[in-house]
Amino acid sequence: MIKKYRDIPYRVLKLEALLRRLLQDHAIREQIEADLGARQAGIRGEKALDYYIAQITEKGHFIFQNLRLPLPNGSFFQIDILFLSQRQFIIFEAKNISGDIYIDPNQMERTLGETKNSYSNPIDQVANQQYHLQNLIESHMNIKLPAYSFVVFTNQNSTIIPNPQYRAIAEKVIRPLVIRQRVAILSERNRRDIMEKKQLNKLARILLKLHTPDDPNILDKFLINKEELITGIQCENCKNFTVQKYGHAWLCTNCNGISKTAHLRALLDYCLLIGSTISRKQCSEFLHLTPSVSSKLLRSLKLPTSGKLKTQTYELSISDLQKRIEETK
């Protein structure tokens, strides 16, 4: 049973919004595109595991996708896929990397054509996740579950180069096809329930409550000023920022495309890039609307507010705006 489904990370949504609102020749556009591309590849790698995870036959288990949990020092650790049962937990770390892969105790090297790149050792990475989760479970439940972790290479265009000097590769590095078999072997090894069913359910609730999505200030991350952003309402068809209010809809003056959600998409970009509160003045400036149209728009959305009269601000929510866009299509 899937207890937590995978959401598109806020960081990815913010990178996409940032690219929409930067000039094509912006100095660091390529850097942002590379960051987004790497994160999207990671998501594809995680999704590639879902088919094989669904084949696990152990009864009564829970699956958590893309779980981000706190450490005592205030930082976080992230798990791609967690298998949790009354007997054990297993972490699967997806790697969607092509090329020749060589892992030693210090690092992972990827060779693709003439290019060689070095990365952190993924076996150590997933072992740290296992260690932190085991500590978290012990601190909240006073239970020590048998714990395991695997690095799963999902890209069919990758070749894992053998390293006889590093035995952990044979034990910890796998392909998606053997996930079911590995879980079955471990389930056979751990036949005794460590937790009662009600304890498993309690632990699941704790993990869901502790999950904290990564929500960075993307402008600060790339040292971009708000003034560098393209403002206005973007047309979904021609991608120009030439949309104006037209009756009960929104009209692009460039291609004559009509939309019912263009204003919501602009507010979503504002929420992703600038902040979760917006005033009528800020709405007018960002969406290129007259003060009266901006005021009517914000009131019509029936958003939570704070302050009064000229100081009044409206509260924006990424999930709420996404839901409104889907419902208005």
Cβ contact 176:198 at 8 Å: no
Closest C-alpha to 99, from 45, 158, 56, 162: 158
Contacts of 150 (CB under 8 A, 6+ apart): 90, 91, 92, 93, 126, 172, 173, 174, 179, 182
Contacts of 264 (CB under 8 A, 6+ apart): 321, 324, 325, 328
pLDDT, position 248: 86
Q: How many residues does the chain have?
A: 329
pTM: 0.91
pLDDT, position 18: 98
pLDDT, position 57: 87
pLDDT, position 298: 95
Q: What gap in Å lies between CA 99 and CA 126, rounded to an integer?
A: 21
Boundaries of every domain in the chain: 2-210, 231-328
Cβ contact 149:129 at 8 Å: yes
Tokens of 138: 């012990």
Q: Which residues of the chain carry a pLDDT beneath 50?
A: none
Contacts of 87 (CB under 8 A, 6+ apart): 145, 146, 187, 190, 191, 192, 193, 194
3-state secondary structure of 6: coil
Domain covering 231-328 in this structure, CATH number: 1.10.10.10
